[in-house]
Amino acid sequence: MRIDVVSLFPEFVAQCAAFGVVGRAVERGLLSIHGTNPRDHAEGNYRRVDDRPFGGGPGMVMLIDPLRRAIEAARSAAEGPVRVVYMSPQGRRLDQETVRRLAAEPRLILLCGRYEGIDERLTRAEVDEEISIGDYVLSGGELAAAVVIDAIARLQDGALNDAESAVQDSFEDGLLDCPHFTRPVEHELGAVPEILLSGDHAKIARWRRMQSLGRTAERRPDLLKGRELSKADAALLRQYREASMSTPETVADATEPAAAGPETG
């Protein structure tokens, strides 16, 4: 897959793709990432890429033509159809389903805005889809593009090693991860749950599933809404809730419903 990033800071995105799983996917030739700078397609001594918004107000808007030429350069840099995605606070929120859909494209152009954004006429003419990565304010689309690239790279065939793929598969089911422990067994911060030391793999798998279900129900109930649990999962979730009723920390929480857990801040 080929991804072209149209950005005033193309090196920024390239750097994000230089390490770890994404870097490995690039080295293995599963993915190539290219930057195109609209500044290189701007005119005049000043190479302007932005101007003041019609109607007044603060901030600047990116000019149509340098961006349009940059998109055109990226489009014709390789063969084949390209989906143009504008990283934008007005976009649909990114989720794993969208990542899977984009990962299946042969080519993408990720358009990154700066300032207040791009001229709406360019969006209408060139953009197939607008994507946001969440409800918080960034300074531009570059970090959002890096997020999309990272998530896409992981889904390219051969990008993950066997262990990474197994973990990916087991959590493509829309639940939060179970807790993890490593050495030492005994530590001043506590002991490792005994069941994980039992060697009973079926029992361990059930315990992990129970933890995943329980933590999802507690921390992200939205992920379980409108989802029918299997009889086995429903039983595990009941078991998790019964167990947590009898642990001291949870009893304390139950007496203070306003107290947020450490991760829900």
Size of the site for ligand 9D3 (CB under 6 A): 15
User: Running DSSP on this structure, what letter comes out for residue 242?
Assistant: H
Only segment of 8-16, 18-26, 85-93, 215-223 that touches ligand 9D3 (CB under 6 A): 85-93
User: Running DSSP on this structure, what letter comes out for residue 207?
Assistant: H
- Tell me if residue 190 falls in helix, strand or coil: strand
Least distance in Å: CB of 194 to ligand 9D3?
Answer: 43
How far is it between the farthest Cα atoms of the chain? Answer: 72
CA distance to 68, 120, 130, 156, per residue, from 127 (Å): 11, 10, 7, 24
Touching ligand 9D3, residues 129-158 (CB under 6 A): 132-134, 136-138, 140-141, 144
Active site residue 169: yes
Interface with ligand 9D3 (CB under 6 A), residue from 117, 155, 214, 216: 117
Touching ligand 9D3, residues 88-107 (CB under 6 A): 88-89
Instruction: Identify which of 38, 34, 110, 35 has the alpha carbon closest to the alpha carbon of residue 69.
Output: 38
Catalytic residue among 120, 157, 169, 177: 169
Instruction: Identify which of 105, 104, 68, 59 has the alpha carbon closest to the alpha carbon of residue 83.
Output: 105
Strands 107-112 and 190-191: unpaired
Catalytic residue among 2, 107, 114, 154: 154
Provide CB contacts within 8 A for 118, sequence distance 6+: 61, 62, 64, 67, 86, 111
Least distance in Å: CB of 87 to ligand 9D3?
Answer: 4
Least distance in Å: CB of 150 to ligand 9D3?
Answer: 14
Interface with ligand 9D3 (CB under 6 A), residue from 113, 123, 207, 236: 113
Active site residue 116: yes
Catalytic residue positions? 89, 116, 154, 169
Residue ranges binding ligand 9D3 (CB under 6 A): 87-89, 113, 116-117, 132-134, 136-138, 140-141, 144
